[in-house]
Amino acid sequence: MYKRIFYHSLFASIITIVTALIYNRFYFFATTIDYSKVVNTGSIIGMSVLACFVAGFVEWALLKWLKGKGEIVFNFIFSIVSFACVIIPISASLPLDVKSPELFPGLAVPMVFFPAMAWYTISHLFRYRGD
Protein backbone atom coordinates (compact mmCIF):
# COMPACT_ATOMS: atom_id res chain seq x y z
CA MET A 1 0.00 0.00 0.00
CA TYR A 2 2.79 2.43 0.87
CA LYS A 3 4.44 1.96 -2.53
CA ARG A 4 1.18 2.69 -4.35
CA ILE A 5 0.59 5.84 -2.35
CA PHE A 6 4.18 6.95 -3.02
CA TYR A 7 3.73 6.50 -6.78
CA HIS A 8 0.33 8.17 -6.63
CA SER A 9 1.93 11.17 -4.90
CA LEU A 10 4.80 11.22 -7.39
CA PHE A 11 2.60 11.12 -10.50
CA ALA A 12 0.12 13.61 -9.05
CA SER A 13 2.98 16.02 -8.31
CA ILE A 14 4.32 15.63 -11.87
CA ILE A 15 0.89 16.35 -13.33
CA THR A 16 0.49 19.31 -10.98
CA ILE A 17 3.89 20.73 -11.92
CA VAL A 18 3.29 20.43 -15.66
CA THR A 19 -0.20 21.90 -15.41
CA ALA A 20 0.89 24.79 -13.19
CA LEU A 21 3.86 25.67 -15.41
CA ILE A 22 1.68 25.67 -18.51
CA TYR A 23 -0.98 27.75 -16.77
CA ASN A 24 1.71 30.17 -15.55
CA ARG A 25 2.91 30.71 -19.13
CA PHE A 26 -0.63 31.14 -20.48
CA TYR A 27 -1.42 33.66 -17.76
CA PHE A 28 1.75 35.60 -18.52
CA PHE A 29 0.95 35.77 -22.24
CA ALA A 30 -2.68 36.70 -21.57
CA THR A 31 -1.88 39.53 -19.15
CA THR A 32 1.78 40.33 -19.98
CA ILE A 33 2.37 40.72 -16.24
CA ASP A 34 5.39 38.98 -14.77
CA TYR A 35 4.84 37.52 -11.30
CA SER A 36 8.08 35.53 -11.37
CA LYS A 37 9.30 37.28 -8.20
CA VAL A 38 6.42 35.65 -6.33
CA VAL A 39 5.53 32.52 -8.36
CA ASN A 40 8.49 31.10 -10.23
CA THR A 41 9.40 27.65 -11.51
CA GLY A 42 11.12 26.68 -8.26
CA SER A 43 8.20 27.66 -6.08
CA ILE A 44 5.75 25.88 -8.38
CA ILE A 45 7.78 22.67 -8.27
CA GLY A 46 8.35 22.87 -4.53
CA MET A 47 4.75 23.55 -3.57
CA SER A 48 3.42 20.91 -5.98
CA VAL A 49 5.69 18.19 -4.62
CA LEU A 50 5.03 19.26 -1.03
CA ALA A 51 1.25 19.31 -1.45
CA CYS A 52 1.07 15.94 -3.18
CA PHE A 53 3.42 14.13 -0.82
CA VAL A 54 1.74 15.56 2.27
CA ALA A 55 -1.56 14.41 0.78
CA GLY A 56 -0.05 10.97 0.25
CA PHE A 57 1.15 10.78 3.84
CA VAL A 58 -2.23 11.89 5.18
CA GLU A 59 -4.04 9.33 3.03
CA TRP A 60 -1.67 6.59 4.14
CA ALA A 61 -2.27 7.50 7.80
CA LEU A 62 -6.04 7.64 7.36
CA LEU A 63 -6.13 4.32 5.50
CA LYS A 64 -4.11 2.72 8.29
CA TRP A 65 -6.17 4.29 11.04
CA LEU A 66 -9.71 4.23 9.64
CA LYS A 67 -9.44 1.20 7.32
CA GLY A 68 -12.57 1.20 5.10
CA LYS A 69 -13.57 4.84 5.66
CA GLY A 70 -10.07 6.27 5.26
CA GLU A 71 -10.36 7.15 1.58
CA ILE A 72 -13.70 8.92 2.05
CA VAL A 73 -12.39 10.92 5.00
CA PHE A 74 -9.22 11.78 3.09
CA ASN A 75 -11.16 13.01 0.04
CA PHE A 76 -13.33 15.19 2.25
CA ILE A 77 -10.33 16.64 4.13
CA PHE A 78 -8.32 17.23 0.92
CA SER A 79 -11.23 19.08 -0.70
CA ILE A 80 -11.88 21.23 2.38
CA VAL A 81 -8.18 22.09 2.78
CA SER A 82 -7.94 23.01 -0.91
CA PHE A 83 -10.85 25.42 -0.60
CA ALA A 84 -9.46 26.84 2.63
CA CYS A 85 -6.06 27.46 1.01
CA VAL A 86 -7.64 29.88 -1.45
CA ILE A 87 -7.23 32.54 1.24
CA ILE A 88 -3.42 32.33 0.93
CA PRO A 89 -3.05 33.91 -2.53
CA ILE A 90 -5.92 36.30 -1.90
CA SER A 91 -4.31 37.67 1.26
CA ALA A 92 -0.70 37.61 0.01
CA SER A 93 1.11 40.90 0.13
CA LEU A 94 3.20 41.32 -2.98
CA PRO A 95 6.43 43.34 -3.32
CA LEU A 96 5.81 47.00 -4.09
CA ASP A 97 7.48 46.81 -7.50
CA VAL A 98 5.06 44.17 -8.82
CA LYS A 99 2.80 45.57 -11.52
CA SER A 100 -0.99 44.98 -11.19
CA PRO A 101 -1.13 43.12 -7.87
CA GLU A 102 -4.92 42.91 -8.20
CA LEU A 103 -4.49 40.30 -10.97
CA PHE A 104 -2.31 37.99 -8.87
CA PRO A 105 -5.23 35.95 -7.46
CA GLY A 106 -6.22 35.13 -11.05
CA LEU A 107 -2.88 33.34 -11.37
CA ALA A 108 -2.52 31.76 -7.96
CA VAL A 109 -6.05 30.75 -6.94
CA PRO A 110 -6.53 28.18 -9.74
CA MET A 111 -3.10 26.73 -8.93
CA VAL A 112 -4.30 25.98 -5.40
CA PHE A 113 -6.68 23.38 -6.84
CA PHE A 114 -4.19 21.70 -9.19
CA PRO A 115 -2.87 19.15 -6.62
CA ALA A 116 -6.37 17.99 -5.71
CA MET A 117 -7.46 17.82 -9.34
CA ALA A 118 -4.38 15.80 -10.29
CA TRP A 119 -4.83 13.52 -7.26
CA TYR A 120 -8.48 12.79 -8.01
CA THR A 121 -7.86 12.43 -11.76
CA ILE A 122 -5.40 9.58 -11.38
CA SER A 123 -6.77 8.05 -8.17
CA HIS A 124 -8.45 5.17 -10.02
CA LEU A 125 -5.08 4.07 -11.37
CA PHE A 126 -3.86 3.61 -7.79
CA ARG A 127 -6.81 1.91 -6.10
CA TYR A 128 -5.85 0.58 -2.69
CA ARG A 129 -7.31 -2.90 -2.38
CA GLY A 130 -6.70 -3.39 1.30
CA ASP A 131 -3.06 -4.44 0.98
Q: What is the mean pLDDT of residues 101-116?
A: 94
Angstrom distance (rounded) from CA 11 to CA 83: 22
- DSSP H helical ranges for the chain: 2-31, 41-66, 70-84, 87-91, 104-122
Other C-beta atoms closer than 10 Å to the C-beta of 96 total 6
pLDDT category, 129, cuts 50, 70, 90? low
Residues 6, 12, 122, 24: what is their CA dihedral angle, to the nearest 10 degrees?
A: 180
d(CA 101, CA 89): 11
DSSP state of 33: -
What is the DSSP secondary structure assignment for residue 125, as one 8-state letter?
Answer: G
pLDDT in tens, 48-89: 999 999 999 999 999 999 988 988 999 999 999 999 999 999
Per-residue pLDDT band at 100 (split at 50, 70, 90): confident
